[in-house]
Structure 1
């Protein structure tokens, strides 16, 4: 963290935020599970002050980096949320390139079911996690929990928000809805399958058959308007917004202008895999997601203020709600 704004934050500085506090990160917290090939490693990022802190579970994407697709990634967003009164918990999923495990069996590519189970495991063990972090005991509000994810992590988060997967090969249905989750943030998420997938996409994710019709939990969907992903879909950037358009209930959608899959750099500082590196773009994503989470979990008017601000900043993006 720094005590000043990045000199290139540009007009994103006009999206209001609350004062920040110093943060600390504690890792690894190691949780053993008999049904998991290796122990579950976690990183927890905590504000140095404050009580009754809401919890955000953050699921990493896949990508091709050696470290960002693990608990070591997503510092730009995790520290920002923590600096504004949230506790952020990041697992290293079995799909991480940093883990030595056997290849997943057919139907479990990228260990996609286990990724969702990791988030449930965290909630089931939240008392153990709280006791493992020095200075955290008694500071959590365990009734206020959100889930967030980027890319493949967005699909992981969607499953806890009420989406389900129907395997197109055999019709097998998988659900992992968790009523303990009160809100979601989906960053550059995955869209519809079937005819919308490219030939490469069908090979990469043969299990993938999303059904967003049960995803009723309030959710913010954030997409880049230049996020074209031919390795997955024959459609354009609109594919990444399907979780907004195809799900019921209270939802909000932010389009980040000029944003590609990295959304300005959410996965890491100066990362080679971020094709749209921009402190201004990243600042917009940080501030809009923070405002949404504050209103969803704290019940304040941060989201209304942020929406009003973005409507005056067309160079950053646009917003719609339902």
Structure 2
């Protein structure tokens, strides 16, 4: 039975786009990882901005259903259960994943005063569903629809208000951020001006939307699907934070963790920040994206990513001076003995 299922996956992968997706089924040799320094047990973390959960209780609407120009869309809403108006973050999940696999990140932001809306994209729901989506719509179709999903959410905020008036009262429609993980990180980057090549032609996929004022990209891809390339980020015009770690490797696609920093290195100078954490992998062990993994949770690394991403949001969107000072300093590296290092260019 397992062999038959594997054979079906191989056939579908080949139909969906050749050996790039075929490699999703058959795993290559593992990458030998360099030893990583752990966070010292006696580290004083009081200097890290926003490390602890914020003061706001959190409300969750598990499913909001929208009818959009591109079809039905389901999203989850997270918002502070405290009266006020808060910036809006739209979050894009990674390939094979889903909108509820990132609560450990999203709830941290919400506790500090943000509203988060997270949809399921066409490729949500696991490997087989992702391959089927790429078979039906093409890799370029899936890649382009993802940012359109976030645009459709912005275009349908009034429809969301009709379903959840209390949520609507919390949303500041003039302060909007795109965020995501892995494939979803590139989705967020596209809304900030990144683009992708269409194989076999001169056209590039573009879905920039001027309403998005910043981008948070957890483990964004380097070269991918013969579409994401070294030129993909040269037209990004909003500030972005990129995060990765020294174990952030994928034998099928990214055998060197530094490839995840390509968007930082190739982006427009003056707009980029990069967090690198020792021993952090693509999923913080099993804390995001693939919660079913039999892996050791990387709690310290996720706490650092949450804290630095919050500082970036507060600096860029709320214009908090202390957050700006933190990002401009060497505090992350000094306070963690090099466990978390923040760069700017």
- Residue 56 of structure 2 is matched in structure 1 by 21
Distance in 2 separating the partners of 1:154 and 1:78: 14
What secondary structure sits across from 1:20 in the alignment?
coil
Any idea what the Cα deviations from partners look like across 1:197-249, whole Å, max 9, x if unmatched? xxxxxxxx25444611001210001011221223114x511100000000104
* Match status 1:243 vs 2:263: yes
Aligned pairs for 1:275-290 within 5 A? 275=295, 277-290=297-310
Matched positions, count: 295
- RMSD over aligned CA atoms reads 2.6
Distance in 2 separating the partners of 1:131 and 1:84: 26
**Displacement of 1:169 after TM fit?**
2.4
Distance in 2 separating the partners of 1:264 and 1:299: 32
* Match status 1:130 vs 2:161: yes
Contact (CA 8 Å) 1:187, 1:221: kept in 2 or not? Answer: yes
TM-score by length of 1: 0.83
Aligned pairs for 1:86-97 within 5 A? 86-97=114-125
Contact (CA 8 Å) 1:29, 1:41: kept in 2 or not? Answer: yes
TM-score by length of 2: 0.78
Flag the 1:102–1:223 CA change in 2: closer, same or farther, 3 A.
closer
Larger radius of gyration: 2
* Match status 1:166 vs 2:188: no
Contact (CA 8 Å) 1:261, 1:274: kept in 2 or not? Answer: no
Higher helix share: 2
What secondary structure sits across from 1:158 in the alignment?
helix
Which runs of 5 or more structure 1 residues have no equivalent in the other structure?
1-7, 64-68, 194-204
Distance in 2 separating the partners of 1:320 and 1:231: 28
Contact (CA 8 Å) 1:264, 1:281: kept in 2 or not? Answer: no
- Residue 196 of structure 1 is matched in structure 2 by none
Distance in 1 separating the partners of 2:339 and 2:134: 41
- Residue 176 of structure 1 is matched in structure 2 by 207
Distance in 2 separating the partners of 1:314 and 1:222: 18
